Chains A and B, each alone.
Chain A
Amino acid sequence: MKNKSLVSINDYTKDEYLKILNLAETFEENPVRDLMSGKVVATLFFEPSTRTRLSFESAVNRLGGKIIGFSDSNSSSVSKGETLYDTIKTVSNYCDLIVMRHPLEGSARFASEISPVPVINAGDGANQHPSQTLLDLYSIKKTQGKLDEINIFMVGDLKYGRTVHSLLMAMSKFKTTFHFIAPDELKMPEEYKLFLDSLGLRYYEHRDFTDIISEADIIYMTRVQKERFSDPIEYEKTKNAYILREHMLKNTKHNLKILHPLPRVTEIDTCLDINPKAYYFVQALNGVFVRQAIITSILGLI
C-alpha cells in the first residue's frame, strides 16, 4: 500500500482491508506513537467537514506528525479562483501526504493523478469517503468478532447515501446478508442490487421497521433529509417511520450494534444513547485508529 493513494473503497482488495483493520487494532491498544516525526500532512478541506478533519488531524497529532492546510475554501487561494490542479501542484511541494475533501466528484482521483505525494480522499461530493467505510468495517469486526456472514440492516436514505453504497461494496466481499429499510423514494439503486445478484448475495427490501430487525447483527442508520423528497408532504408522512426508538430493540439479538456515520439529527432517539447496543460514538473514536492505520501504511512507516 506504500505510496498508493486511497481514493475509492474499490481501490483496495479484501486483503488490504484486513491489513488496515489489523493495524488499526494495534493503534487502539497504543494510539500515541512517535511514528510520524518530521512528516507533514496537508488537510485540504475545500468544503467544511469538522468531524472528518479533526479525526484525521487527531490521528496525525497522536503519531507526532505536523499538519498544514485549510478548513474551507474561503480561507485559501481557492476563493481567488485557483484551480484544483494548481492547488495540488503547489501544496504537494510542502507535504508528504494530502488529505482532501472537495465538493466535486472525482476530484480526489484527479488530484491523485497529478500529485507526486499520495492522496487520501476524505469525501468527493456524493462519490466516495473510503476512510469512513474502513472505520465502519472496523466497528463491525470489533463488535461482532468477524466480518463474514453478518446480517446488516441499512436504514433511511439508501438512494443518495454514499456511506451505505460504499459499505455495501466493501461488505459484499464477506458473504453478507443485506436488508434495506427505506421509503420508496429513497430505495437502494438498481445497480447495487444487480451487483449483489451477480455475486449471489442475498438482500431483502422493506418499507418500514418490522419484527424482522430481531435478526439484525448490525443496524446502520442514515439521515433522511427533507431536500431529497420531491414532495414535502411525502417527507412529513415518512420521516417518523425511520426513527429508531428504544422499545423497538426489545427482541433484538444481544450482539446487535447500532451504527451511524454521524452527524445524527432525529433518526435515532437520544434515549437510546445509553443503551449498550448504541455504538455510534465509539464508532467515531474508531475512526482515529483506522486513520492512523491508513496514514502509516500509505507512508510506509510501519
Chain B
Amino acid sequence: MKDKILVVSAIKDGTVIDHIQANSLFKVISILGLDKIDKTITFGTNLESKKLGRKAIIKLSDIFFKDKDINKIALVAPDAKLNIIRNYEVVEKKIVEVPDEISGIVKCMNPQCITNFEKVITRFDVISKKDVKLKCRYCEKITDQEHMEILK
C-alpha cells in the first residue's frame, strides 16, 4: 500500500496506467509515443503484483488520453487500468478495450503479405477481442494472439 500511495500521490493532474505486464512496458511506451513527449513521466517496473507476477506502472503528468488512443495498448496490456487524476484525487477509473480496428502497431504474420515488403502501414479488422484475432485488410489472413508481433 505504501508503494501505491507514493506512486499515485506524486502527480497533481494526469493519468496513471497501472497493471501493465512488466515485459510489455516498453511496448506500451512505444505505442503511446511516450518517448516523444516533453511532459513529466515516471515509470516503475518489476513491481510485485498478485495478478500479473511482475507489473509496471506509468504516471503521466498533465496527459489525458482519448479512449481511442489508449485502447491501442489493449493488445499488449489487456489488464491495464487507468486512473485519471485531478488535483491529487482519482476522479475516474477506466479499463482498456481492444478496438475494432488496428492501424500500425502489429505486424501481419503472413510472410507473403505486401505489408512485410513495402512501406505500408498495417491495418487490421479485429474479428475477435477475447482471444484476439486480427484480419489483415491487405492479404485477408488472420494474425492471432499467439503469433502477434508488435512493430518497433
Which residues of A pack against B, CB within 8 Å?
Answer: 8, 10, 83-85, 102-107, 109-110, 124-128, 191
Q: Are B142 and A105 within 8 A (Cβ)?
A: no
Q: Are B140 and A104 within 8 A (Cβ)?
A: no
11 contacts across the A-B interface (CB closer than 8 A): A10-B140, A102-B114, A105-B114, A105-B141, A106-B138, A110-B114, A110-B118, A110-B120, A110-B138, A124-B114, A127-B140
Q: Are A104 and B119 within 8 A (Cβ)?
A: no
Q: Are B137 and A104 within 8 A (Cβ)?
A: no
B112 beta carbon closer than 8 Å to chain A:
yes
**How long is the Cα–Cα vector from A85 to B110 in the complex, in angstroms?**
20
Q: Are A84 and B110 within 8 A (Cβ)?
A: no
Q: Are B110 and A105 within 8 A (Cβ)?
A: yes
Determine which residue in B110, B114, B136, B137 has the highest number of CB atoms from chain A within 10 A of its CB, and name it.
Answer: B114
**How long is the Cα–Cα vector from A10 to B139 in the complex, in angstroms?**
13
Quick one: which of B117, B136, B141 contacts A104, CB cutoff 8 A?
B117
Contacts of A10 on B, CB cut-off 8 Å? 140
Contacts of A124 on B, CB cut-off 8 Å? 114, 139
B83 beta carbon closer than 8 Å to chain A:
no
**How long is the Cα–Cα vector from A102 to B114 in the complex, in angstroms?**
10
Q: Are A128 and B112 within 8 A (Cβ)?
A: no
The distance from the CB of A182 to the nearest CB of chain B, in whole angstroms, is 21
Closest to A126 in B: B112
The distance from the CB of B103 to the nearest CB of chain A, in whole angstroms, is 13
The distance from the CB of B62 to the nearest CB of chain A, in whole angstroms, is 37
**How long is the Cα–Cα vector from A102 to B141 in the complex, in angstroms?**
17
Which residues of B pack against A, CB within 8 Å?
Answer: 108, 110, 112-115, 117-120, 136-142
Please name the 7 residue pairs, one residue from A and one from B, whose CB atoms are nearest each other, closest first.
A106-B138, A105-B139, A106-B139, A106-B114, A107-B114, A104-B114, A109-B138
Q: Are A85 and B114 within 8 A (Cβ)?
A: no
**How long is the Cα–Cα vector from A8 to B140 in the complex, in angstroms?**
9
Contacts of B141 on A, CB cut-off 8 Å? 105, 127
Closest to B137 in A: A109
Closest to A83 in B: B118
**How long is the Cα–Cα vector from A8 to B108 in the complex, in angstroms?**
18
**How long is the Cα–Cα vector from A125 to B119 in the complex, in angstroms?**
18
Q: Are A104 and B113 within 8 A (Cβ)?
A: yes
Contacts of B118 on A, CB cut-off 8 Å? 83-85, 110
Closest to B110 in A: A105
**How long is the Cα–Cα vector from A221 to B118 in the complex, in angstroms?**
35
Q: Besides the contacts A105-B114, A110-B120, what 8 more A-B pairs have beta carbons closer than 8 Å?
A: A8-B140, A85-B118, A102-B114, A104-B112, A105-B110, A106-B136, A127-B139, A127-B140
Closest to A10 in B: B140
**How long is the Cα–Cα vector from A85 to B113 in the complex, in angstroms?**
15
The distance from the CB of B10 to the nearest CB of chain A, in whole angstroms, is 45
Quick one: which of A8, A84, A191 contacts B114, CB cutoff 8 A?
A84
**How long is the Cα–Cα vector from A128 to B139 in the complex, in angstroms?**
9
Closest to B115 in A: A106
Determine which residue in A103, A105, A106 has the highest number of CB atoms from chain B within 10 A of its CB, and name it.
Answer: A106
**How long is the Cα–Cα vector from A128 to B136 in the complex, in angstroms?**
13
**How long is the Cα–Cα vector from A127 to B113 in the complex, in angstroms?**
10
**How long is the Cα–Cα vector from A85 to B114 in the complex, in angstroms?**
11
The distance from the CB of B52 to the nearest CB of chain A, in whole angstroms, is 32
The distance from the CB of B39 to the nearest CB of chain A, in whole angstroms, is 35
Q: Are B114 and A128 within 8 A (Cβ)?
A: no
The distance from the CB of B112 to the nearest CB of chain A, in whole angstroms, is 5
**How long is the Cα–Cα vector from A110 to B138 in the complex, in angstroms?**
7
Q: A104-B112, A105-B110, A105-B112 are in contact. Are A128 and B140 (CB under 8 A)?
A: yes
